[in-house]
Amino acid sequence: MTGVMFDRIALIGIGLIGSSIARDVKALGLAREIVVSSRSAETLGRAQELELGTSYVASAAEAVRDADLVVVSVPVGASEEVAKQIAPSLKPGAIVTDVGSTKASVIAQMAPHMPESVHFIPGHPLAGTEKSGPDAGFIGLFQGRWCIFTPLPGTDERALDTLKSFWAALGSRIDEMDPQHHDKVLAIVSHLPHIIAYNIVGTADDLEAVTESEVIKYSASGFRDFTRLAASDPTMWRDVCLHNKDAILEMLARFSEDLAYLQRAIRWGEGEKLFELFTRTRAVRRSIIEAGQDVDVPDFGRHALDKR
């Protein structure tokens, strides 16, 4: 459709995100060559079986040689290591980008190692599922989803435009903000929800009065909605927590404060306070549906899906 945009793309990391990029690039013919790299031999072998690229190399340094676009899709905690590895072999004029969920930390880890001759442009496609690994990716993952860029001051506009066109070709809607604001926004729309989901599933798992089999058996009453997020990749989420600490702690503090207020209202039987909150939150759901950010099918449409 769009035609070849890059002679050679190097994908460092080939999990859910990396492998979805690979599938789209291949399907759309956006590159002549797709070099796939993973530090895990097993993952790399699987990527090859799935025919996600045109060549497969264990060494990230090797992978980026002569690449016009380098996409780093690794847990954010591994960013600095990757930056150090690839820096010496990057081709002058290459665009180097990432897909990490935290931006200030990734910039702090990668920018100091990037040679002057390349365009380092941090990015974050807001797309994914609770599955991970090269098998989890699919064509169209980024379709209609936002991709946020947090370019550094002095970024070459032409390189930025090229990168934006690339993501637009994958179906993404493009946005731009500064890294600090990105990290705050993501802390509330993504990081806090995941942490809360992990936490409640942990709490339920630890009960003595209610058995785990009861929790599972009756989970359709609400609990299961949390288990999807709590099934996300542990390495990725450990790294997000460690690398967006300040914004996450701020959101957690607010959440806990609000929960204490709610708890007190329950203890003292203050029905009107509960009713006020429970009414207000309905409007947020409505806005999300209107913005086309969720499907308006009751129960996430599971009823239609689980006709077994």
Closer residue to a second copy (CB): 154 or 268: 268
Query: Closest approach of Cβ 258 to a second copy, in Å?
Result: 5
- Given a contact cutoff of 8 angstroms between Cβ atoms, the answer to whether 62 and 41 are in contact is no
Instruction: Determine which residue in the list 4, 27, 58, 249 makes contact with a second copy, applying CB under 8 A.
Output: 249
Residue with tokens 């390189």: 159
Instruction: Determine which residue in the list 81, 130, 162, 169 makes contact with a second copy, applying CB under 8 A.
Output: 130
How many residues in the shown chain lie near a second copy by CB under 8 A?
112
Token pair listed for 249: 């702690």
Token pair listed for 162: 């090229």
- Given a contact cutoff of 8 angstroms between Cβ atoms, the answer to whether 29 and 3 are in contact is yes
Query: Closest approach of Cβ 106 to a second copy, in Å?
Result: 16
Contact call for residue 222 and a second copy (CB under 8 A): yes
Could you tell me whether strands 95-98 and 69-72 are parallel, antiparallel, or unpaired per DSSP bridges?
Answer: parallel
Closer residue to a second copy (CB): 154 or 222: 222
Closer residue to a second copy (CB): 157 or 306: 306
Instruction: Determine which residue in the list 126, 147, 163, 170 makes contact with a second copy, applying CB under 8 A.
Output: 126
Residue with tokens 């070099």: 35
Closer residue to a second copy (CB): 9 or 192: 192
**For residues 277-296, which are near a second copy according to CB under 8 A?**
277-282, 284-288, 291-295
Piece in contact with a second copy (CB under 8 A), picked from 23-31, 62-70, 149-157, 238-246? 238-246
E strand intervals along 173-266: 173-176
Contact call for residue 17 and a second copy (CB under 8 A): no
**For residues 21-80, which are near a second copy according to CB under 8 A?**
77
Tell me how far apart the alpha carbons of residues 216 and 281 are, in angstroms, rounded to a whole number: 27
Closer residue to a second copy (CB): 58 or 207: 207
Could you tell me whether strands 31-37 and 6-12 are parallel, antiparallel, or unpaired per DSSP bridges?
Answer: parallel
Query: Closest approach of Cβ 216 to a second copy, in Å?
Result: 5
Instruction: Determine which residue in the list 7, 42, 156, 299 makes contact with a second copy, applying CB under 8 A.
Output: 299
**For residues 186-215, which are near a second copy according to CB under 8 A?**
186, 188-207, 209-210, 212, 214-215
Contact call for residue 112 and a second copy (CB under 8 A): no
* DSSP characters over 97-149: EE--S-SHHHHHHHGGGS-TTSEEE-EEE----S--STTT--TTTTTT-EEEE
Burial class (CB in 10 A: 0-12, 13-18, 19+), 211: exposed
Tell me how far apart the alpha carbons of residues 242 and 247 are, in angstroms, rounded to a whole number: 11
Q: How far is CA 306 from CA 14, 220, 231, 299, 300, in A?
A: 31, 12, 19, 11, 11
Closer residue to a second copy (CB): 120 or 198: 198
Instruction: Determine which residue in the list 120, 149, 166, 237 makes contact with a second copy, applying CB under 8 A.
Output: 237
